Structure 1
Amino acid sequence: MKILIFKSGAIGDVLMTTPFLRALREKYPKANIVYCVGRYSAIALKNNPRINKLMTFDEVVVFKKSVFGLLHLRNGIKKERFDISFNLDRSGLSNLFLASCLIPVRIGFSRDLNGLGLTKSVKPIPGNHHIREYLRLLGPVKEKNTDMELLLQRKDEEYATKFLKKNNLVNPIGISILGAQNPGQNMPSRRWPLRHYLKLIELLQRKNVPIILFGSPAEKSHLNKIGASIPVSCADVHKNVCLMKRCKLFITHDSGAMHLASIADIPVISLFGPTNPDEKAPVKFTNLVFWAKENYAPQIEAKKPKAFYDPEFMASITPEKVAKKALEVYHAPRND
């Protein structure tokens, strides 16, 4: 049996599919599993033992709906002659795209007409965590483990050890102030304002708390300017996760870094605005969520008004509140 998994991208979103991938392999231990994913996010699946092959494409082809790019991708998928496809994007267009690839069994999410092109559809449950939603596509499975996976190597651990030694750091707090941006997508409304992050850092430094700023390699120059006196780690996701494991706490907004810190299995204070933390926040640390929505009047419920997507919407979460919670967690004993 040959199975296709399709996911266009976003590193955090791809990481949230790894429990599904683990359960899929348990259900079909002898299947040939191919994961088709956007090139930028493919690093989240590097060396993953659950898949037989990684097929990548340019995400912009999907977001800009490039006819020639989609035809090229379609031809590549058709050549593989898959028996089953799982569309992990909640997109009616990608459902139709996979139908055009002539795969006999096509499973995915449907809302109203978005289910066209599927042979088996699952209606999303609002407020259900995306990890659990992906698992629902498999029907009954023996174990519904929600732990995400990222395969780490010795060189990644060595990077973390050298970084801490070089910067003379013990029990730092990790902070990611950028992110929420992928090829073809920019979501500034998910980011906590930079001025709030700077104030948070000031409040923590007053208490002599060591800090590391985390980012992607593309964000290095920007972060070096922002935190000239603060150690900055802009390594690949595997090295950053190993360094996050050495942190006592991590603070960020809804972004790929939030999911990486969750994999590192450290407490994560997550800051949310337009997205629902019930659907995306680290499963083990739902008690450490700040949601800007909670600071607004009930009318915010009315179909997500424009104010909900204003970058300043996140400003209602104050740095003082986050610093207070961070210091509580930082000084609390870990129950490992």
Structure 2
Amino acid sequence: MRILIIKLGAIGDVIRTTSMLPALKEKYNGCKIDWAAKKVSFDILKNNAFINKIFLIEDAKEINEFYDMVISLDDEYDACLLASKINTKKIVGACLKDGKRAYTEDASLWFDMGIISRFGKEKADKLKAENKKTYQEIMHSMLNLEYKKQEPILVLSRNELEFSKKFAKENNIKKNETIIGINTGAGGRWQDKKLSINETAELIDKLNKNIVDAKLLLFGGPEEKERNEKIKQLIKTGIIDAGTDNSLMEFVSLVNLCDILITSDSLALHIGTALKKKIVAFFAPTSPSEIELYGRGIKILPKKGCVCCYKSKCDIPPEWDIDEMVNAAKKVLK
């Protein structure tokens, strides 16, 4: 049996979607699984032993192969078009119907809550807010797979592991030390996903004071360069700057140094989860229920403000209890 997964979207979504691969292999013994992705996700998938072949859609606008099943998980037009052009017995997920974006009935559990929902945006948002299942549960249910909390798969190469070892040596990070990562980035789509600069500085200082012998790592991407500089100027205690100009896999390898990662619902969260790190995750505009932490983490909700509104700017900005985050970090360490 030949299966094609179309998952082009956000890298974090690509990571968590890999959790379905073991169950697919178990159900369809001997199957070959190919994956259509964007170039930006290639390094995330390249060392995954469950994947037979990766198609990069920038290079392959059409895939001229036969598949017994296509699992189409993106609702963008290009992804739907790609799914509809493939020679296959069966599509599960998003596709084109009469030239318009649609989805198969067996994929309704997921797509009813999305932007191409047959019910319209208002009902979709309501369903999203009411949903209590994780993404992984939904995906396995949608594909009639047994869900046994299968984990996402993210494999680092030897060179990537060496990169983090070199960084640890240069920054005097020892193997027996507790390393806490603070991720300040959250992408640009939802403004209220991240802590404020002042809140982040407060979190760092309180972690340093409350967790003895821990070393803190400050994470961010290019968009956080200025923000992280301001945070470093504000703090009264120490933190090791992991830099904001790392490649994707350099970022992954540095997250791998951490025992705990404190982060918003972002790419870093999915990386940390796939690397089996202990997680303290805080949520405002996006769904906490969708996130699977595999018993290794704690979810923090604002003491005041929106939860799961999916608005680019929350009507009620979140107010955070920083002490709750510190206590959560102490709890997951035990």
TM-score, with length taken from structure 2: 0.76
Structure 1: distance between partners of 2:198 and 2:87: 51
In the alignment, the residues of structure 1 paired with residue 26 and residue 101 of structure 2 have an alpha-carbon distance, to the nearest angstrom, of 27
Q: Residues 106 and 120 of structure 1 are in contact (CA less than 8 Å); yes or no, is this contact kept in structure 2?
A: no
* Higher fraction of helix: 1
1:123 counterpart SS class: helix
Q: Unpaired runs of 5+ in structure 2?
A: 111-126
Q: CA deviation at 1:35?
A: 0.5
Partner of residue 289, structure 1 = 299
* 1:211-230 map, 5 Å: 211-216=216-221, 218-219=222-223, 221-222=225-226, 225-226=229-230, 227=232, 230=239
Write the distance in 1 (CA, Å) between the matches of 2:3 and 2:169: 45
Query: Which letter does structure 1 place at the counterpart of 2:301?
Result: W
Residue equivalent to 2:322:
319
What CA RMSD, in Å, does the superposition of the two structures yield over aligned residues?
3.4
Deviation at 1:212, TM superposition (A): 0.5
Q: CA shift at 1:14, angstroms?
A: 0.8
**Contact 1:272 1:291 (8 Å CA) reproduced:** yes
Shift of the alpha carbon at 1:320?
3.0
One-letter amino acid matched to 2:196 = P
Seq. identity, %: 25
Q: Which residue of 2 aligns with 1:61?
A: none
- In structure 2, how many angstroms separate the alpha carbons of the residues matched to 1:25 and 1:85? 15
Q: Does 1:231 align with 2:240?
A: yes
Q: Which residue identity does 1:43 align to in structure 2?
A: D
How many angstroms does 1:6 deviate by?
0.7
Distance 1:131 1:99 in 2: 25
Residue aligning to 1:137: 142
Q: Equivalent residue for 2:124?
A: none
Within 2, Cα distance between the matches of 1:140 and 1:310?
36
* Contact persistence 1:196–1:318 (CA under 8 A): no
Q: Secondary structure at the match of 1:17?
A: helix
Q: Which residue of 2 aligns with 1:257?
A: 268
- Kindly indicate whether residue 118 of structure 2 is the aligned counterpart of residue 118 of structure 1: no
Q: 1:87 to 1:203 in 2, by over 3 A?
A: same
The equivalent position to 2:67 in structure 1, one of 82, 87, 107, is: 82
Structure 1 counterpart SS, 2:317: helix
Amino acid at match of 1:158: E
Deviation at 1:277, TM superposition (A): 1.0
Match of 2:289, SS?
helix
Q: Does structure 2 conserve the Cα–Cα contact (< 8 Å) formed by 1:19 and 1:135? A: no
Please name the residue that 1:8 is paired with: 8
How does 1:1-336 map onto structure 2 within 5 Å? 1-57=1-57, 73=61, 76-77=62-63, 79-89=64-74, 94-95=79-80, 98-108=83-93, 116=102, 118=104, 120-124=106-110, 126-141=131-146, 144-169=148-173, 170-181=177-188, 186-207=189-210, 209-216=214-221, 218-219=222-223, 221-222=225-226, 225-226=229-230, 227=232, 230-234=239-243, 235-285=246-296, 288-292=298-302, 295-296=304-305, 304=309, 309-310=313-314, 313-314=317-318, 316-330=319-333, 332=334
Contact 1:270 / 1:290 at 8 angstroms: preserved in 2?
A: yes
Residue identity opposite 2:136 in structure 1: I
Unaligned stretches of 5+ residues in structure 1 = 59-68
Q: How many residues align?
A: 300
For the residue of structure 1 that corresponds to 2:4, the secondary structure is: strand
Residues of 2 paired with 1:258 and 1:305: CA distance? 18
The CA distance in 1 between the partners of 2:254 and 2:265, in whole Å, is 20
TM-score by length of 1: 0.75
Report if the CA contact (8 A) 1:259-1:282 is conserved.
Answer: no
Distance 1:312 1:164, change over 3 A: farther
Task: Say whether the 8 Å CA contact 1:109–1:122 is kept in structure 2.
Answer: no
CA distance change for structure 1 residues 168 and 149 in 2, over 3 Å: closer, same or farther? same
Cα deviation, residue 90, structure 1: 5.3
Partner secondary structure for residue 218 of structure 2: strand
Please give the secondary structure, in 2, of the residue aligned with 1:131.
Answer: helix
What letter corresponds to residue 190 of structure 1 in structure 2? K
1:84 partner amino acid: M
- Which shifted more, 249-258 or 19-28? 19-28
Q: Aligned equivalents of 2:209 and 2:157: distance in 1?
A: 36
- Is the 8 Å Cα contact of residues 132 and 146 (structure 1) preserved in structure 2? no
After superposition, the Cα gap between the structure-2 partners of 1:106 and 1:194, relative to the gap in structure 1 and judged at 3 Å, is: same
- AA matched with 1:264: L
Change in Cα spacing, 1:119 to 1:130, as seen in structure 2 (3 Å) is closer
Render the CA deviation track for 1:85-140: whole Å, top value 9, x for unaligned.
10123568854652244533101279xx9984537544238221001211123214
Work out the CA distance in 1 between the residues paired with 2:286 and 2:296.
17
Partner AA of 2:156 in structure 1: L
Q: CA deviation at 1:168?
A: 1.7
Deviation at 1:201, TM superposition (A): 1.2
Q: Give the C-alpha shift of residue 53 in structure 1.
A: 1.1
Q: Is this contact kept in 1: 2:263–2:282, CA < 8 A?
A: yes
Contact 2:94 2:102 in 1 (8 A): no
